[in-house]
Amino acid sequence: MSVLTDQLNVELAAVVERMGRSLVQVRNGRRGAGAGTIWHPDGLVVTNAHVASGSHLSVVLPNGTSLPARILVSGPDLDLAALMVDATGLPAVAVGDSRKLQPGQWVLAMGHPWGVLGAGATGVVIGVGPDLPGIPQFQHEWVVVDLRLRPGNSGGPLIDGQGRLVGVNTMIVGPNVGMAVPAHVVKAFLRKALLELGRSASPSVEGPVRCRL
């Protein structure tokens, strides 16, 4: 049993280290900071709309570099936002298939809880979908996890055991019950919003519009 535990610890630590390369801080000019994930190497960052609600947004990369950020699109109904920073060659996250998640599957939430940079917390999937018993009803699908999210986790990635993003951490609804927007909902949000922006032929938008969604 100890051998299996040791192996699991090593594998989870490797996933956290690898995922940390795509994890950023999002600062909104007020006290505190949320999290975000590099979605595309050319500066596209995904986070929560409530994290990106300030007037002086910046994104802090894992190496400590702080870059001004602007909102490309914000969707309060989904609590999602796409930010743009002036950078290229960033380490983008690998995106998994949230529709294949199963109850009991291990997942890991990353962020900066209480200001602790690059922290990870493990838990298991409770369910995926729009109509889960005992869960408050919202207008779209969720990944519900047995995992305690804290201030600073908002906007950060929920990842599977292979280090792929399967959700964007958003809220808690009870003790040790967290909710994340599923990756396939995030992809649909970005596809619709960024393609609409791309019709304006803005050079600053064309790169992300061509990214894999």
Active-site residue list: 50, 79, 154
List the beta strands (DSSP E) in the chain. 23-27, 34-40, 44-47, 58-60, 66-75, 80-85, 106-111, 119-129, 142-146, 157-159, 165-174, 177-182
SS3 136: coil
Largest Cα–Cα separation, the chain: 58
Tokens of 73: 């699109």
Helices and strands (DSSP H and E) totals, the chain: 3, 12
Pairing of β 23-27 and β 142-146: unpaired
Contact 53, 160 (CB under 8 A): no
Tell me phi and psi for residue 98, to 5 degrees.
-65, -20
Tokens of 110: 């990353």
